[in-house]
Structure formats: structure tokens, C-alpha cells
Chains A and B, each alone.
Chain A
């Protein structure tokens, strides 16, 4: 098959665009979709200092690469989660990526700095590992951005991620969660601005970006996340997509266009009373923030190897 733009031999078929593309025009499509997301949702400008949360997977390395290529000022932040071999390999991929390109990478290791890791936190708190992990990462991204004077935290969330989360939220119609599911959240209440420049790209497209740009990302997925509900929602959306291509992007993008404005009025009222955590200064509703309480509980617990939490998935 031939590229829709230049008739050269295609390297990928994109059913949602009902077209095939060569390497160069697939990259161009990715660039344009990111730039459209940044502009449409007013995510950041060329002078903003960007902190990219990187994991070593395809999406976070793709967004860092794309931002740098587009001329943005973007540093990386990597959090060592202590999830056995998976984290060791992640570290290698991220550090090699940054070193090869001469990019600035900030690293925070949970065990070294806070005395715990994700498997231990999951066991100590008796909660799903994905919940301790998400909470730790969000806190450290926010803190690093504030401490480092960055204007915005960027994550690699793609269209499939956002559509799957949206499906989960829609299945239960939690209005608060729905109202917060936006491609950019303004800085407020002591939290930094947050943006997701890849929301218009599917994960098949971000993976293709990495392949075509020679980015050596970690293909293996987090062993703890395997089989979680989020992944099941992705399968469900892909089954719908197969029956009717481009439904997935319509689902997410029409939500942002048609529904988010209606919900915005709702959530404005609900931001509540926030003060500063007495320990770390982060915004919190209590005396101590949830992260500092997690650190207390998890760091007091004997280290738990990852194998022991693999039975307890993040469902």
C-alpha cells in the first residue's frame, strides 16, 4: 500500500484516518496532532519551562523527543519505583535516552530518598499497588515542578489512556472525576499546571514514532499493572474501534468539546479548603498530606519483593 500524502510505500495503516502513511508522513501526522493539542487546549508556549515525567516507556520518551524536536525547553523527571527488574530496566532506558541526546534528567528514587518502594507500599497500606504508585508519582511530579520552578508538568498520556479512563469514569458517572479529566489542568491551589500533549495520538502511533525515530524504549509493561481494569477498558474500546473506526477518538475528543464545558461549572464550586502539609508543604485537606502518611507507613515496613504483590493486581 502507498502513503496517502506522497504515494511512497507505506509503513503503517491507520484505520481511523482510513489511510496508510510512509515513515516521514507518519512522523508529520504525529507532530501535527501534538501541535494541535498544545494549541487547541492552550497547554504551554515556547518560553515555558517544561518538566516531562518519564518512565522509560514509549509514550513518555515520545513526548519528550517530540517536544525537544519542536524546540520546547523540556527537562525530564524519572521516579525510581523499585519494581524489581522492571524498574532496573526502566532506569537504563531513561538514562541512556537522556545521555544520548544531552538532555537534563532529574531522578528521584523512592527507596533511596523516602525509604520505601511500590511493592512494599502496596503491602504496607493493604491497597492496590497502582494506587500507591499513582499517588507517589503525582506527588513527586508536583513537588519537583514547584521546587525546580517549572511552568508545567507534562505526561505521556495518549488517546487510548485517556479514552480508557473516560470509559471507566463514564461507567460510574462520578461527576467529580469526569470534570477533572481534561488535557490541561491550570496551576491552582499550589499544584503546578499539568498537560498531556499526546491526547490526540493513539498508542499505536506513539509506538510507531519511537520505532521510526530509533528510540530504544522499554517494551515490557509494568508487571503489577498487567490485567488491571484500565487495560480491560482499552480492550473494550479497541473492540468498538474495530467495528467502527475513529469512534475512540470521537469518544474522547467530543467529550472534551461538548461535555467538559458543562461539567466545568459543576467542579468550580468543589475545590474545597486546602492548606499546606506541615511536613512537605504540599497542598492537603488534612494536617499531613496523603504522601507523607504513605511514606510513614511504607518506610516502617520490611521490604517486600515485587513477586509477592503480583497476585494482588491493581483492580
Chain B
């Protein structure tokens, strides 16, 4: 069935990304928006827009009933969930089915199977896909947890069974850390997924996080794409991704790719999706999980293959057979993605919601911006801190890196703090340039203190003096008793946003 109108049940950059594909395909788009998002780009970008509730996600973007209502009212044929929110919620898929709306993603059975990490591990183990050692059952109590941890041996990872997106994950190095890690992981899991179930994996030392984009249609045709290297993570959140991985040669690429397709086959998967693996120092790889949705980092794959994954995903949802064959998937050059988060890297990455008062995005050859913001946009504190993605392509990894450094040097965001400068640090790090990275990379990098050169320091001093001269009256007297690390505009911001206790 040809889809003519899609409701996009998401916001910010990913909602825009999907709407762009729709617009190019001649498909009408329907936005849903919460109170604070009336002026957000996604609300204004689409052909239609429906208000679905107050700003907290639990009252809007997580409200299945309101989203289904908007879909019915607008006459949408299909719903695209993006990532996060309801993207991996099989209840939501059921409601779509009940109302005759196509859910753009895999079948409910696939989501049910893969969405729960312990179920998925059991299935993969039985389908000859290598998994990380650990429990294949949820750990029901803290006592059991202690026992299992002992059995597997430290270090271990605690993970949310309903997890994804790096939420509800904690590394536990020894028994003394277990209790506190368990509490935080459970509470994060509960907040993020409404389910605090935890399981254990053996922690692999210095692993790389490697994942394979796959596509599989309703007719059993499948494709795998060149792997993505996602080892650059902070607190289990990916920070920077690239394709291909510097660690993987074409033989291993094909082996992992075929394994990913095997995993998809085992799950009867029928959409685009991602099979995540850990790669150890001896190039053994282990199945981690399947993300049954479009992923934040899908653009790097698009850049090196020229294939629009969102279009492919929509076509699969239309029940079309995939027209491409595995031979059509050619690896062309190298791509890197930097996630731009509204976080302050100088202040331990604390969230930085607020109003964007200045914005200059990078441009030129080999640069792609997937953003959800604009000059004047308000970044609410209710949702994920990702505000955009910067992707560069080069004919080699070196060129992609040089181009990314160049692009980052052009990026200017005023009003909120972002991780742009942190990405510059990553790209200038010799281990990164050499491609010798693991999931430990960010922690190691954060320990290094770089001294800026003498001349730049002098310029900073001169600039401060001139600014003082220009704004003579603005120099504060200094106040030793209160520590206010944030800008004093915070309170104003909170008031402007009309934030109140009920809102959070």
C-alpha cells in the first residue's frame, strides 16, 4: 500500500529528519506537539500539526491515546515513531494495528522479542549468534543479583532489561559498588522505560562498540550495511560515531554483517534496524542487542552508501520488497557523526537547556547538518539533550576527520552550552586519530588537561581587558560565600519558560 500521509510521533532533529524524507517522497506529514513545542521546528515544518498535551513527555509524546487520536483526525495512513519515546513500545504498535494505522517499524512480535534484552539474549543464543556472557533472565532481587555477580565474576555490567539508548546501565568493578549501582540503574530504568528490571553481563575489557545497520522486508529479503564504530561513549551515551570502523577489515566486515542478518532472520525482523555488538581486543564479537528502530547515528551509513535509510524504512512499511541487492551496498569513503548535546563540557556535561540566541551551522563540501534547532529556539529541559548532529564525509578517514575539525571550528551556538568543543578535543586526540579507541576512550580523554598555547592565552587576556573597558560598570564585586557555577540567567530562564513544579 502506498502511504500518503505519515504522522511523526516525535520531536526535534529526528522528527525533522523523517519529515524531510517524506517531503522528498511526496508524502504528507503530520506533527504532534506538546505545550512547549508550539514554536519548535518540527511543529512548523510539517503539513499538519496537532497539540497533544502538556510539556512533560508522559503527558504528550508518551500518550498513546492522544497520538492515535491525532492520527485518526488527520487521516494519516501510518505513524513513524522516530527513536526514543514510543519507538520500541509494543503496546503502541498494538494500538496502531487496532486502528488500522501502519506502524513504521518492525512487527509487534519482533519488538516484543528484541525489546526485552534478556528475551533477545535467549533467542540469539539459541540461533547461534554469539552473546556476551551473563544472565539470560532478569535478576529478580538484590540478593540474587549478588549471587549472580559473584558467579559471573567482576567487573560486570548492570543493564536495564527494557533498555536502549544508554539509559539504565552501570559498570560495577567490585562488590562494594554493587548496591549503589543497582539503585541508580533501576531508578534510571524505571524513569526511562517504566520498568526497573535489571540483568547482568560480564564486562568486556576495553571493548569496541560495533553495530551493523540491517534492513529486512516482509518478504524475507535482507541487507547489511558497513559497520558503524560507536565506541566513543560517555556514560553509555554515544558521543561520536563513524563508518566504517578503523579496526575492521573487509573480511571481518562481511562476517559481522552476515551475523547481523542472521540475528534479524531469527527475530523475523521486518524494518530497518541495528544489531549491536561488542568487539574485544582479539576481534571476537558478541551480540549485545537489537535496536528495533531508526538510530540516531544512521546518517553515517547514509553518507558512505548513498542510501536514504528512512525512505527504505517507509518502503518496507509499504510492504514493498527491497529492490537493492547486497552487491548494491558499496562502501564509499568514510563518515563521522558528532552528536551535539545541550550540555556544558566545561562543567561536567551538566544539561544546558535554554534559548538559542545565536546559531551558525557549518557548511561546505562534505558536511551534513541534521538539526532540530534554529536561532531563537528554546531547548526544553523535558526531553533528551540532543539538539542536532553534524556529519562529515571524506574519501578517507583522515579526510573525514580533517573535515569534521574544520566544520566544528565553524559551529557557533550562543545561549546554551553544547558539546562542540568536546568534539574538537576528541578529534585532536592522537589515539582517536590513530583509530585505537575503545569504550574507555572518553573517560581517558577527560583525564587529560590540555594547556592552550601562550598566544591564545594572551588574546583572551586582551579581550577580557577590552570588554571590561567597554562594559565598565558590569564588573561584579565578587562574592565568596555562594557558589553559583551557572550563569545568573538560570533563574530568569526558569521563569520565562513558565516552569513550575508540576511541569517536570
The answer to whether A binds B is no
Using a CB–CB cutoff of 8 Å, the interface residues on chain B facing chain A are none
